[in-house]
Structure 1
Amino acid sequence: MNTATAEMLEVKVDTARQLEERLNAAVRSLQDVAIRTRAQGILVTRLNPGHYTVSLSDSVPFGVTREQSR
């Protein structure tokens, strides 16, 4: 399951295979948005097992993807 806004995608998964596929798809989608502004990088945040957000972030330089856990 994925939910989305213009600058943030929520990714929920049940398996490792889903995790890789869905996170990669979310990052690619936000890369397209980031290229237009060239001002933000991408932040992947693990909220809980199987629950992530992928978002554009001012704290991440353009062209960089960072991961963090909460």
Structure 2
Amino acid sequence: MIRTVEDGLSYLVKVHDASALDDYLNSAVDLARQHAAVTGLCGILVTRHAYDTYTVAVSETVPFGETRERQDP
């Protein structure tokens, strides 16, 4: 499941089947990348909150054109 948290800026990805994880994350990154391309100022930050829950967000802390990953503390 991909749920929009902030229109075009942030997406919640939650999976119940590990085999679908890459597809969902790639789709969410593509959606966020479309918005980031409009501004040309932000990159994409993928945050793992749990084994089945991620956030994909347009982030000013990531340089334009880059995608970074982090683990939620």
TM norm structure 1: 0.94
Q: String of CA shifts for 1:32-62, please: whole Å, max 9, x gaps.
A: 1111000100000000110000001111000
Unmatched segments (≥5 aa) in structure 2: none
Other-structure match for 2:53: 51
Figure out how many residues of one structure are paired with residues of the other and give that number: 70
Report the aligned-residue RMSD. 0.8
Other-structure match for 2:33: 31
Distance (whole Å) between structure 2 residues aligned to residue 17 and residue 33 of structure 1: 27
- Superposition misfits of 4+ residues, deviation over 4 angstroms: none
| Percent of aligned pairs sharing the same letter | 41
Shift of 1:16: 2.2
Unmatched segments (≥5 aa) in structure 1: none
TM norm structure 2: 0.91
- 1:1-70 matched pairs, under 5 angstroms: 1-4=1-4, 5-6=6-7, 7-70=9-72
